[in-house]
Chain A
Amino acid sequence: MKNWSIKERVLFVALLPTILITLSLASYFNYTQITNLERSLHERGELIAKQISTASEYGIFTSNTEILDHLSTQIINEIQDIVEINISDINGEILIIKKNPHSHNKTSDHESLINYLASQFITEDNISFYSTITTTEIEIDDYPEQSSKTTESSDSDVIGHIKLTLTNHLTREEQLVSLLKGITIPITGLILTIFFAIRISAGVISPIIKLTKAVNDIADNKLDAQLAIDSGGEIGSLERGFNKMSNEIRSSRKTLEKKIEQATSSLTKTLDELEIQNIELDIARNHALSASKIKSEFLANMSHEIRTPMNGVIGFTDLLSKTKINDQQKDYIRTIENSARNLLTIIDDILDFSKIESGKLRIEDISFDITEVMNDIATMFTPLAYNKNIEIISHPLSDKIPSLLIGDPTRLRQIIVNLVSNAIKFTENGLVSIRTKILEKTDDNINILFTIKDTGIGLNEESKQQLFKAFTQADSSISRRFGGTGLGLVICKNLIELMRGDIGFDSDTSTGSRFWFSIKFTTPEIQIHHETLTINNGKTALVYEELNEAMEATTIILKEMGLNIFTTQDHKLIPEIINNNKIDFLVLGINRTNIKNTELLDEISNLTNKIDNHLVIASTFSNIELQSILDTGIRNVIFRSSPKSLIKKKIHNIVCGLNEENQSENILKKTESSRDFSHVKALIVDDNEINLKLAHTILNNTSMQVTTANNGQDALDLCLLEYFDIILMDLHMPVMNGFKTIENLRSTINYCTKSIIIALTANATPEDKLKAFNAGVNDILIKPFNENQIFSILDHWLPYSKKPQHTATITSQSELPGCQLYNHKTAVTLAGGSEQLAYELLTMLIADLPNHKLKIEQAHKLNNTEELRQAVHKLHGGAKYCAAEELSSSAGKVENMIIKNNIADINLELNNLYEKIDNLISYYHNNKQRNSLK
């Protein structure tokens, strides 16, 4: 109804009441008329019957059937709808039955239509009426004796009966006629009403429609719309008003158009000027972008170019420090090294910031051991902290945190390093602690909160506002006092955000700062299961730690091992506790401030002499300091920065009485270089003479047989002539870069197709790393590298060249049956003695095996020999270093066949290779638990 036009509304209002009233009245009158006709039929029937009965009285009285017959005939002739008259006497004896001979043919004189309708819709029914014939009494009241004697019951008045049968046909016809009239008349009336309503409404609606059309014309911008004024009254006024309004609008429009023209003209001028400015701005922007790009490239190049010589500076400084020099010279060298490292840090920060700014920084998603990251950091910062005489406590990771996580370990390490570095930098005394906490853990994910707390200078409110802003430090004086670029926290924040984490801090100038960040890592299905060392026979340990944080860290380890614990922060109470309680094991912490406290050391020595089962946790990294502790007579000493697993192992061995002789001395031995790589042949490839010389010097010190090359092509040529166990290859070189060289080495016939290749790069982006690994490198060494890093790499990849490792936690191993499939002993040896690493390598290999298989299958299917060879080669290398001997052997055979172009028989061997792959996967899953994989 809302969308009805005026015409529809007017007609609706005009016609609806009329239609309703007409229909109501028509229904009422038709019903009344039909009912009346029906009632009239019954009344007439009763009346006729009564009249016949009265008229029949004499005939009955005199038993004169002729009279009755005559009477009936006469009545039937007069009244057409009588069907039959039946007259009987008091005894029920029928005196006469008179039927109407025309009863079935009788039709009214109405039109044929009515007859047709009547024949269609009317069912003829006969209605019978009954009446009794009684005598008419005449009272002879003036001869009462006569009357009284003749009084009888009323029944005796009845002298006969009348049955009158009437047809309702005529009545029905009349009803039908009445109904037709009753319908026809209202319909006619309605039609007339509609006709007049339309006519009358047209007079009102037509001008409104015209008006509406004119309004629409105006709305459609046809402003010359005018209405012919042919109506009177309000509509006429409206039409005149509309015309006036139309004229006004037209006039206003013209004025407006004139103004718009003027404004447009002005605007056009302005736009032209703006266009010119835009072009100028665009040129300026392009210049700026170009400059920015050049700046970024320059920064990147500069960083790279600076890192390369810095590699030489640091490397040779390190080497120089190991030569015979006096103390002053040592101090100078240390200063040079520190300055170089600071400069390197600044360069790294600038490089990272530049990458973040340009959006080129990518976050990796690789499997890594978080325990290793945290241990490395603790180890890394211990010297720095202890040199400042502040304590550094790295709280052990909860056993509930899976060792293997998927994320970017390099960036995670960078963030923690940055925050810990800052904490140490801004702390003059007290301690720095590193904590981890699980915020949320599901089957697939874990959200870890990392907290770095210090007791440093803290931040005031103003400084807090400046934090996380590039190139700003909390205080301008800080730059002067502590140095730094002011990019560290900004980089951290950006890295954390890239890893979809949060970072925040609390700080107070009186208590120090607490920086925290949380990152959500994916947890891989396959995990490294650390050896669980527990002591279950109710042993009791007494822990002495002065610092709360140190106490907390130590007791966590002991509790995890199942020991009962007594604690004290006052060393003077230790004897009393020992005397009053059964103490099986003594753990004594010497914090940084007490490391030279001879009185305390003597006291501890006395205690350790009394109690064999003891462990002293010393906050030191210095061999001299360690030696001075050992000199007091204390035997079992461990660095506070030692990994939790190592501490547990030591405690376990001590408490359980396992033979671990000269444990503390072993620590000392660890620091001694005792490698013998005299049988190892190494090739160093680098275009930078300094780096080449540095690497050569370091390797040469190990008695390694070292050869150098200035570019990839030279290296390739050398490899055609002789075999090298290990090749250190710079990735960015002239003539032939590292990537191409490695690919050639791996894919062409030479002596070094299976050599260990270590990539050297100053800018290891994830893309570069991937590219390098795809080319066939075994590992990557980031410039600037030092002696230790090179040794670490050598230890890892050339373990068979090392002497037995003093820190090895390898327990007795035995080969399992079926060792041809997986030789655990060899695997651990190849993993540098790290059982964990061996397991991890195997896990990675297993995870990659389906891909290897797929690539081999696809290459074979496409008859692409080169791709097939590369795929098999990669599998061969991986299997070999994981000590998957059968698989390695099979892959080697296939590779040889390819190299010798013996493709005809390759199918059989390939099937053998696939079988070995499947066997190894099954073996792995059947022995998934680490212990079973020994």
Chain B
Amino acid sequence: MPSINLLALVFFISLSANALAKDKSIFILANSNTKHHNTITQNIINNFADSDIRIKTSNNPETIGNYEHDLIITIGSKIAKQTLESTTTVTPVLSLLLPETVIDQISNKNNRPWSTQIIDQPLERQLLLVKHLLGKNSKVGVILGPTSIKNKSKIELAEKSTGMVINYREIKSPDELIPVLKEIITQNDILLAIPDPMVYSKRTIRGILLLTYRNKTPVIGFSKSYIKAGATAGIYSTTRQIAADATENIKNFFEMNKKFSSNTYYPQQFSVDINKRVARAMKLKIDSQDALSDLIKRK
């Protein structure tokens, strides 16, 4: 029994010593079962390995109360929602990997400082890719679902800012997808996929890609997987790039005395990817992928 007490004392002293040495702490909440989440977490940890920021990770928002943190980082919509809606802490929260359309669906009950680093690429960045692929006069078709309809205004703004023709159609049920899709791809030069669970689910993607492929209509995807599945090209942020953006945002947070510089951060680092086999089938003449990527990043 005395030996156990002695060990507990040593552990407490050790913790106290760390606390004194590193006064900045981050608590990362991520779903440990998701590969992307783990990768991002690990990259963040790695990025702060040599800093004085103490990082603690958990997959359970309920454990937040056990420690004091300077910043809570949530990865993914589900964790973010649980943290913001269920926990009582007032520690600032930075939510990573969050679609832009989801932000409105989460209520920040304690009114804590909350900033989001969204996953979606800015629409203009994607239109720029279209422009480089098909030219600025090409007509861009977009299908919006119940979730993505919120981007309707952004689409209209982007159309104006880029001068490109964007034809969008809204569907309210899955049955409308094929007829609308057929219509969109026959009327436009390219289909720009904006994430929406009803339109671009894992079940519909194959059909959409096959239909567009048969119709020789290129598709701009929103993730690497999409491009790999058959989309012609796409812009996306890799986990490393997301972690790097997050690292920057965290640093800014601490530099700004633990305040966020913005409520919403768009991906600063991104990748441009082209499915060359599909692109060849679509008879698209594309420069090298790196050159295209540099061109877009420069803009």
Which of the residues B98, B178, B226, B229 comes within 8 Å of A62, measured between beta carbons?
B178
Question: Is A137's beta carbon under 8 Å from chain B?
Answer: yes
Q: How far is the CB of B254 from chain A (nearest CB, A)?
A: 27
Assuming the contacts A141-B35, A145-B99, asked whether A61 and B223 have C-beta atoms less than 8 A apart, the reply is no
Stretch of B42-50, B134-142, B193-201, B280-288 at the chain-chain interface: B193-201
Assuming the contacts A137-B203, A137-B206, asked whether A63 and B225 have C-beta atoms less than 8 A apart, the reply is no
Question: Is A328's beta carbon under 8 Å from chain B?
Answer: no
In the complex the two chains form, is B225's CB within 8 Å of A141's CB? yes
Assuming the contacts A136-B206, A137-B203, asked whether A148 and B225 have C-beta atoms less than 8 A apart, the reply is no
Q: How far is the CB of B29 from chain A (nearest CB, A)?
A: 15
- Cα of A39 to Cα of B53 in the assembled complex, Å: 67
Q: Across the interface, name the chain B residue whose C-beta is closest to A150.
A: B201
Please count how many residues in chain A sit with their CB below 8 Å of the partner chain's CB atoms.
23
- Cα of A148 to Cα of B202 in the assembled complex, Å: 10
Assuming the contacts A63-B178, A148-B78, asked whether A142 and B236 have C-beta atoms less than 8 A apart, the reply is yes
Give 1 or 0 for each of B203-236: 1 = CB within 8 Å of chain A CB.
Answer: 1111101110000000000111110010000001
Inter-chain contacts of B97 with A (CB < 8 A): 144-145
Inter-chain contacts of B201 with A (CB < 8 A): 146, 150
In the complex the two chains form, is A143's CB within 8 Å of B195's CB? yes
Inter-chain contacts of A57 with B (CB < 8 A): 206-207
The contact size tier of chain B is 35 or more
In the complex the two chains form, is A145's CB within 8 Å of B77's CB? yes
Inter-chain contacts of B236 with A (CB < 8 A): 142-143
Q: How far is the CB of B277 from chain A (nearest CB, A)?
A: 16
Chain B, interface SS category: helix
Inter-chain contacts of B202 with A (CB < 8 A): 137-140, 146-147, 150
Question: Is A149's beta carbon under 8 Å from chain B?
Answer: yes
Q: Across the interface, name the chain A residue whose C-beta is closest to B223.
A: A143
- Cα of A358 to Cα of B77 in the assembled complex, Å: 150
In the complex the two chains form, is A143's CB within 8 Å of B206's CB? no
In the complex the two chains form, is A143's CB within 8 Å of B225's CB? yes
In the complex the two chains form, is B225's CB within 8 Å of A145's CB? no
Which of the residues A143, A149, A150, A157 comes within 8 Å of B119, measured between beta carbons?
A143
- Cα of A150 to Cα of B102 in the assembled complex, Å: 14
Question: Is A58's beta carbon under 8 Å from chain B?
Answer: yes
In the complex the two chains form, is B77's CB within 8 Å of A143's CB? no
Residues A130-178 near B (CB distance < 8 A) = 135-150, 156-157
In the complex the two chains form, is A138's CB within 8 Å of B229's CB? yes
Which of the residues B182, B195, B229 comes within 8 Å of A146, measured between beta carbons?
B195
Q: How far is the CB of A363 from chain B (nearest CB, A)?
A: 132
Q: Across the interface, name the chain B residue whose C-beta is closest to A136.
A: B206
Question: Is B258's beta carbon under 8 Å from chain A?
Answer: no
Question: Is B132's beta carbon under 8 Å from chain A?
Answer: no
- Cα of A63 to Cα of B225 in the assembled complex, Å: 26
Question: Is B51's beta carbon under 8 Å from chain A?
Answer: no
Question: Is B66's beta carbon under 8 Å from chain A?
Answer: no
- Cα of A142 to Cα of B237 in the assembled complex, Å: 9
Assuming the contacts A62-B211, A145-B119, A146-B200, asked whether A138 and B223 have C-beta atoms less than 8 A apart, the reply is no
Residues A37-85 near B (CB distance < 8 A) = 57-58, 61-63
- Cα of A886 to Cα of B78 in the assembled complex, Å: 155
- Cα of A146 to Cα of B225 in the assembled complex, Å: 12
Inter-chain contacts of B77 with A (CB < 8 A): 145, 148
- Cα of A140 to Cα of B225 in the assembled complex, Å: 5
Question: Is B54's beta carbon under 8 Å from chain A?
Answer: no
Inter-chain contacts of A61 with B (CB < 8 A): 178, 206-207, 210-211
Q: How far is the CB of A113 from chain B (nearest CB, A)?
A: 50
Q: How far is the CB of A94 from chain B (nearest CB, A)?
A: 19
Question: Is B36's beta carbon under 8 Å from chain A?
Answer: yes
Q: How far is the CB of B223 from chain A (nearest CB, A)?
A: 4
Inter-chain contacts of A141 with B (CB < 8 A): 35-36, 225
Question: Is B76's beta carbon under 8 Å from chain A?
Answer: yes
Question: Is B34's beta carbon under 8 Å from chain A?
Answer: yes
In the complex the two chains form, is A145's CB within 8 Å of B102's CB? yes
Assuming the contacts A58-B210, A61-B178, A150-B197, asked whether A142 and B224 have C-beta atoms less than 8 A apart, the reply is yes
Instruction: Please indicate which of the listed interface residues A61, A63, A136, A146 has the most CB atoms of chain B within 10 Å of its own CB.
Output: A146
In the complex the two chains form, is B178's CB within 8 Å of A138's CB? no
Q: Across the interface, name the chain B residue whose C-beta is closest to A60.
A: B207
Q: Across the interface, name the chain A residue whose C-beta is closest to B210.
A: A58
Inter-chain contacts of A135 with B (CB < 8 A): 203-204, 206-207
- Cα of A125 to Cα of B97 in the assembled complex, Å: 59
- Cα of A555 to Cα of B210 in the assembled complex, Å: 147
Q: How far is the CB of A148 from chain B (nearest CB, A)?
A: 7
Residues A96-145 near B (CB distance < 8 A) = 135-145
In the complex the two chains form, is B206's CB within 8 Å of A146's CB? no
In the complex the two chains form, is B76's CB within 8 Å of A138's CB? no
Q: Across the interface, name the chain B residue whose C-beta is closest to A159.
A: B203
In the complex the two chains form, is A143's CB within 8 Å of B222's CB? yes
- Cα of A141 to Cα of B31 in the assembled complex, Å: 14
- Cα of A143 to Cα of B201 in the assembled complex, Å: 11
Give 1 or 0 for each of A487-524: 1 = CB within 8 Å of chain B CB.
Answer: 00000000000000000000000000000000000000
In the complex the two chains form, is B36's CB within 8 Å of A142's CB? yes
Instruction: Please indicate which of the listed interface residues A58, A137, A138, A139 has the most CB atoms of chain B within 10 Å of its own CB.
Output: A138
- Cα of A149 to Cα of B77 in the assembled complex, Å: 10
Which of the residues B78, B98, B205, B239 comes within 8 Å of A138, measured between beta carbons?
B205
Inter-chain contacts of B178 with A (CB < 8 A): 61-63
Assuming the contacts A135-B206, A137-B206, asked whether A143 and B102 have C-beta atoms less than 8 A apart, the reply is no
Q: How far is the CB of B232 from chain A (nearest CB, A)?
A: 15
Residues B128-155 near A (CB distance < 8 A) = 147
- Cα of A156 to Cα of B201 in the assembled complex, Å: 12
Inter-chain contacts of B209 with A (CB < 8 A): 138
Inter-chain contacts of B239 with A (CB < 8 A): 142
Inter-chain contacts of A156 with B (CB < 8 A): 203
Q: How far is the CB of B107 from chain A (nearest CB, A)?
A: 18
Q: How far is the CB of B119 from chain A (nearest CB, A)?
A: 7
Residues B73-87 near A (CB distance < 8 A) = 76-78
In the complex the two chains form, is B197's CB within 8 Å of A146's CB? yes
Instruction: Please indicate which of the listed interface residues A58, A63, A141, A144 has the most CB atoms of chain B within 10 Å of its own CB.
Output: A144
- Cα of A58 to Cα of B204 in the assembled complex, Å: 10
- Cα of A148 to Cα of B119 in the assembled complex, Å: 15
Q: How far is the CB of A120 from chain B (nearest CB, A)?
A: 50
Q: Across the interface, name the chain B residue whose C-beta is closest to A149.
A: B197
In the complex the two chains form, is A144's CB within 8 Å of B36's CB? yes
Residues B46-70 near A (CB distance < 8 A) = none
- Cα of A464 to Cα of B102 in the assembled complex, Å: 151
Q: How far is the CB of A308 from chain B (nearest CB, A)?
A: 157
In the complex the two chains form, is B76's CB within 8 Å of A144's CB? yes
Assuming the contacts A61-B178, A145-B77, A147-B202, asked whether A140 and B211 have C-beta atoms less than 8 A apart, the reply is no
Q: Across the interface, name the chain A residue whose C-beta is closest to B182.
A: A62
Q: How far is the CB of B80 from chain A (nearest CB, A)?
A: 10
- Cα of A145 to Cα of B211 in the assembled complex, Å: 24
- Cα of A892 to Cα of B105 in the assembled complex, Å: 165
Residues B23-43 near A (CB distance < 8 A) = 34-37
- Cα of A58 to Cα of B200 in the assembled complex, Å: 16
Inter-chain contacts of B36 with A (CB < 8 A): 141-142, 144
Q: How far is the CB of B120 from chain A (nearest CB, A)?
A: 9
Given A61-B178, A145-B102, A146-B223, 15 more contacts at CB 8 Å?
A58-B210, A62-B182, A62-B211, A135-B207, A137-B206, A138-B225, A140-B229, A142-B225, A143-B119, A143-B236, A144-B34, A145-B119, A146-B197, A146-B202, A150-B203
The 4 A-B pairs of least Cβ separation, nearest first, read A150-B201, A149-B197, A61-B207, A143-B223
B residues whose Cβ falls under 8 Å from a Cβ of A: 34-37, 76-78, 97-99, 102, 119, 147, 178, 182, 195, 197, 200-207, 209-211, 222-226, 229, 236, 238-239
A residues whose Cβ falls under 8 Å from a Cβ of B: 57-58, 61-63, 135-150, 156-157
Q: List 24 interface pairs A-B (beta carbons < 8 Å), by A numbering.
A: A58-B207, A61-B178, A61-B211, A62-B211, A136-B206, A137-B206, A138-B229, A140-B202, A140-B226, A140-B229, A141-B35, A142-B239, A143-B119, A143-B195, A143-B226, A144-B37, A144-B76, A145-B77, A145-B97, A145-B99, A146-B99, A146-B197, A150-B203, A157-B203
